[in-house]
Amino acid sequence: MSKKNQKAGGWLRRLWKGGGNDLADQMAKNSSNPSAMDVEEIISPTRQIVRNFMERKLAVGALVLLLLMFVVMFVGPLFMPNYYDAYTEVTQKSIPPTMSMMSVPKELQGDIKMIDGYGSFTVGLSNAGKVYVWGSTKIGTTGVDMKDIPQEVLDANVVMVAAGIDHAVAITDEGKVLCWGYAKLGQYGTQQSFADRGEEISPNVAYMPEILVNEGIDVSQIKKLTCGYQCSAILMQDGTLYLWGNKLTYANIDVFLAAGEMYDIDFTLNYIVGVNGRRNTIYTGSRGLYDMARANVNQPTVPVRDYLGDRKIETIVATSSSMCLMLDDGSVCFVGDFTSDMTPAPALPAGEQFVQVVGGAYHYSGLTNKGNVYSWGSNTQGQIKVDKKAVGSQQIFSGSFQTYSVDGQGKLQAKWGLKGYLFGTETHGADIFQRIINGGKMTMTIGAVAVIISSLIGILVGCVAGYFGGKVDILLMRVAEIFTAIPFLPFAMILSAVMGRMTLSETTRIFIIMCILGVLTWPGLARLVRGQVLVARESEYVTAAKAMGVKESTIAFKHILPNVMSVILVTLMLDFGTCMLTESSLSYLGFGVAYPRPTWGNMLNGANNATIINAYWWQWVFTALFLAVTTICINIVGDALRDVMDPKSSVEK
Amino acid sequence: MGKYTLKRLGYMLIVLVILSLIMFLIYSLVPSNRAYTDARNEMQAMKNAIPKGQQDEYFNQLYLKYQRQYGTDTDNKLILYLRWVGAYPYYDGSYNGLLQGNLGWSYDKQKPVVDVVSQPMINTIQINIYATILALGITIPLGICCAVRRGSKLDQGVQVLTIVGYSLPTFLISILFIWIFCSKLGWFPPSGMQTPGSTLTGFAAWKDEMYYRALPLITMTFCSLGGMTRYVRASMIEALSMDCIKTARAKGLRERAVIYSHAWRNALIPIVTLVVGWFLGIFSGSLVIENMFALNGMGQLMISSLRSADYDVVLLMQMFYVAISLMGNLIIDIAYGLVDPRVRVSK
């Protein structure tokens, strides 16, 4: 018994040494015979296990990481109110990890003339006529980088710019139209330029009119330059329309190519929409497409003609599936499809009205005559959280998911919306980070439920077989052997494929997958429990219980089971890891949880050939990392626990 | 030993029968009616030749004919099963099942299942044998080395690496290796069995084939390294702590002799179990790898058959997997007897 600690502070000492030891110390100090109350240091097995475990730095680290993973996966989804499984966004497909989608270059910030964006990148133009590009500028596997602005654009004094999904257009002060980006699908280029490159003339391409490239157009007469998915349009003051691009992206492009004259034009995702000289309808070339208007996003629809009455359409601002019309009396109205989660436009105070409205992919921003900016529409990427600094603005611009407000001197006041994607986006355009968090929840839930099912069966069978022995034991163990003879992955695949042929809801399917995993993994645990119970059955406390006349089933489950629990828990932990891996493999092969619902397995589904693995590395690296870290941590912690629980091995080490 | 083996064989047969019944029942859950489809197709073909009024009756006759031909003219699942096995006669009194050598018909490929399965099976077994040899060649020395130098830097490093190795799913390692070795380094072709359109023969052809199989092989070997090394190490440590080792050392035997002739023989018993079990395991492991690398193996065939709902093929392959696994258990038991004399005595 050491006496060193006797002078230390009371409570601290007791905390450290334990109350019993401390009391013994005190008594030994006060009594005449110091060794009378000597106690041996006794540590409960649990404390010993914890102490041994704590000595292993790696295992403790792994445990902390694992707990962190759990917390993130189960708490994380609560912070993603806008997330839903089936989210797809065609303009945001396969974007590499970036946070630069809203970072306006420093040189441009004080001198903005205009900003435009449609997809993953945004183009900006300074009053000095210089063009800037930011955001995710590498276009898929095409090898095109929008940041490589051609020299002729850099040299020229540009007066207007616009951006499409994979091309950009600039108009110089001489009226020449210059484009860059991906051109293989006919995004830009005259028929002559295609012929020069030796490419076939395709009926699916509307080629650029020669006049735009050769003679140039009168810059002062340009009313609007706008880009759609892979199309572009220039509208002149006199109504002349220049339209070119990939015809396959807009079904009604031929109508507009033939129409020739328009009052206003814009692109939704699938249609070109225009306003013709009469200015009282939306012109799309086909009847019934956009002929219902509404006063606000959440208001009932009225036929456009009735709604307008004598009023005329002044401007048309299109987003992906809807458009906002500015009328000549200063009011706005809406046409097209709006989902129920969209925020309606704000009711303006008396005397205030919109002077400019811009549209992104799913949101609108409006500037009023008092210089206030409002945003409304979809908020999936935080597009409508207006920055408080946006007061007294003179102009606003929008990217696909961003809004920029600019003051009278062309200085950037505020910007809000989508900054970028931490882990990039997948092939459908959904944020991989959000899917990893939600997928992790799914993967872990499946693993956990599978383990619970397997442990219920395993413990029950193991206890019964081990305790009762004899014929019961033989029978149960034979059954277990049959289950072990079933090859796991092929069998699970067959079951899942068979289920796929039946009409089941996705939730039922997932539950059945959990059951399959659980039912196929129990024999290992059952054997382990049986072995443990066989040993425990011979111990004294069981003999004592028997002598006292305790019921057999009570002995098996209430006396023996708690004593073998620690070993079971470790096995369960390792099984949890295995189940997660199996679920991932199943989902990866396409026989587990199916697409819109994410799991770590099916998120890696796309990474099955060398091209994708290399080009879209972010689509598997992060998910794989999460999966790997979690399973590695589970195994490290499980292994360490098994080692420290086994007294033999702890002596050895 | 002979009697013991016989007993095990008999038991194995029973399990095989039970499992085949389970498989068959699961398989019969799939809503498919081949007789109906075929009858309707034939009906479509000769629709004009039959007067309108008699069409229904004619169709029913045709349907019955096909049902009898396929042996599905009953709803009794047990009879269907027995017919599939070949222990119950068809309508015309003939036996035509597994026992008669009829392993089924692939509707997708319009060939007997045997023809469909044989080539992929050879490929799979080949690649699995290569992988086994490679893996054993690496893991056994490594495991022994770690056990003998327990606690050394090497041992600790290997311990951490092996945990990482067996925590990662096969498909993840495949993705990683394709990325590193195909995309970044360009050492191996990413997929396929041989150079497309190659006309090589003899040694050159074999070399080309091995070049294409190298990466799947490396991946498969790597996947099994983790678990195996740990297992070999653990059983070797166990063996090294036995009394006989102390005695051997006390006798003054050379360390080499102590390790390889005394400890290793004792460590072998659990390892035998593992090696056999693992050899079976790589069949399902190669399922993923074949899919990744587009190898024409059983795994690939299984997945494509499942996708095209070609269940005769799937069912037979499933039976093959089960048989392999049961055989493995038998081999484990017999090998136990050979390695450890005590097992022979006790049984």
Listed by start position, the domains of chain A span 51-79+432-643
Band of pLDDT at residue B340, cut at 50, 70 and 90: low
How high is the pLDDT of residue A457? Answer: 92
Judging contacts by C-beta atoms under 8 Å, the chain A residues touching residue B320 are none
pLDDT tens column, B218-261: 888 888 888 888 888 888 888 888 888 888 888 888 888 888 77
**Residue A240 to residue B34: CA distance in whole angstroms:** 64
**Domain presence at residue B188:** yes
Provide the token pair at B271.
């390892």
Tokens for A623, please give them: 């998910």
Whether residue B327 lies inside any domain: the answer is yes
Neighbouring-strand partners of residue A227: A232
Please indicate if any CB of chain B lies within 8 Å of the CB of A609.
yes
Whether this prediction's pTM lies above 0.90 is answered by no
Residue B311 lies in domain: 114-343
- Name the minimum distance, in Å, from the CA of A223 to any CA of chain B: 49
Q: Rounded to 5 degrees, what are φ and ψ at B75?
A: -95, -5
For residue B55, being part of any structural domain is answered with no
Is the confidence at residue B347, as pLDDT, over 70?
no
Whether A485 and B280 lie within 8 Å, measured CB to CB: no
Q: Are A609 and B192 in contact (CB under 8 A)?
A: no
**Given this model, what pLDDT does residue A453 score?**
93
| b (16+ CB within 10 A) / e for A377-395 | bbbbbebbebbeebeebbb
Which pLDDT belongs to residue A8? 45
The helix (H) or strand (E) run that includes residue A581 is helix A561-589
Residues of A in contact with B291 (CB under 8 A): 589, 608
CB-side neighbour CA atoms (13 Å) of B13: 6
User: Which pLDDT belongs to residue A5?
Assistant: 45
- Report pLDDT for B345: 46
Q: What is the pLDDT of residues A379-428, one digit of tens each?
A: 888 888 888 888 888 888 988 888 898 888 888 888 888 888 889 888 88
Which residues 440-479 in chain A show a CB within 8 A of chain B? Answer: 478
Q: How far is residue A445's CA from residue B143's CA, in Å, rounded to a whole number?
A: 35
Which CATH number do you get for residue B190? 1.10.3720.10
- The predicted structure's pLDDT at residue B93: 73
- SS3 call for A240: strand
Contact assessment for residue A383 and residue A417, using Cβ atoms and an 8 Å cutoff: yes
Confirm or reject contact between A652 and chain B (CB < 8 A).
yes
Give the pLDDT of residue A68.
Answer: 93
User: How far is B25 from chain A, CA to nearest CA, in Å?
Assistant: 11
Task: Give B64 to chain A, closest Cα distance, Å.
Answer: 25
Q: In whole angstroms, how large is the CA radius of gyration of chain A?
A: 35
* Separation in Å, CA of A507 to nearest CA in chain B: 20
Percent of chain B past pLDDT 70, that is, above it, reads 92
Distance (Å, rounded) from C-alpha A139 to C-alpha A595? 25
In a domain, B142, yes or no: yes
Distance in angstroms (rounded) separating the CA atoms of residues A466 and B119: 46
What pLDDT score was predicted for residue A33? 63
Which chain A residue's Cα is nearest to B16? A482
Q: Is the Cβ pair B163, A617 closer than 8 Å? A: no
Question: Chain B interface, mutation test: which of A481, A493, A584, most B Cβ atoms within 10 Å?
Answer: A493
pLDDT digit string (tens) for B18-34? Answer: 888 888 888 777 766 77
Of A585, A639, A652, the CB nearest to B163: A639
Parts of chain A with a pLDDT under 50: 1-8, 650-653
pLDDT score, position A284:
86
Give the distance from residue B32's alpha carbon to the nearest chain A alpha carbon, in angstroms: 9
Are the beta carbons of B179 and A617 separated by less than 8 Å?
Answer: yes
- Residues of chain A in contact with residue B302, where contact means CB-CB under 8 angstroms, are 490, 493
On the CB side of B245, CA atoms within 13 Å amount to: 20
Torsion from C-alpha of B161, B162, B163, B169, nearest 10 degrees: 110
Burial label, A75 (beta-carbon count in 10 A; 0-12, 13-18, 19+): exposed
User: Does residue B217 fall inside a structural domain?
Assistant: yes
Q: How would you class B44 by CB atoms within 10 Å of its CB: exposed for 0-12, middle for 13-18, buried for 19 or more?
A: exposed
The residue in chain A having the minimum alpha-carbon distance to the alpha carbon of residue B15 is A482
**Cβ pair A393, A387 in contact under 8 A:** no
Q: State in words which class domain A51-79+432-643 has.
A: mainly alpha
Work out the average pLDDT over B170-183.
87
* Domains contained in chain B, number: 1
CB contact under 8 A, B15 and A489: no
What pLDDT is attached to residue B203? 77
String of DSSP letters for B180-220: IIIIIS--S-SS-SS-TT----HHHHHHHHHHHHHHHHHHH
Q: Comparing C-alpha atoms, which of B160, B171, B90, B140 is closest to residue B263?
A: B140
* CB pair distance less than 8 Å for A485 and B283: no
Instruction: State the Rg of chain B over Cα.
Output: 27
Q: Tell me how far apart the alpha carbons of residues A505 and A510 are, in angstroms, rounded to a whole number.
A: 9
C-beta of residue B106 within 8 angstroms of C-beta of residue B310: yes
List Cα–Cα distances, A641 to A48, A456, A638, A646, in angstroms.
Answer: 12, 21, 5, 9
The interface pTM score, or ipTM, of the predicted complex is 0.81
DSSP secondary structure letter of residue B99: G
- Has residue B84 been placed in a domain? no
pLDDT at A69: 92
Q: Torsion angle of alpha carbons A635, B303, B30, B316, nearest 10°?
A: -100
pLDDT given at position A32: 65
Question: Which residue's entry shows tokens 């074949």?
Answer: B290
For residue B41, tell me if it sits in a domain: no
Task: DSSP for A9-66, please give it.
Answer: -HHHHHHHH-HHHHHHHHHHHHSSSTTTT-------HHHHHHHHHHH-HHHHHHHHHH
- Judging contacts by C-beta atoms under 8 Å, the chain B residues touching residue A610 are 178-179, 182-183, 190-191
- Cα of B294 to nearest chain A Cα, Å: 9
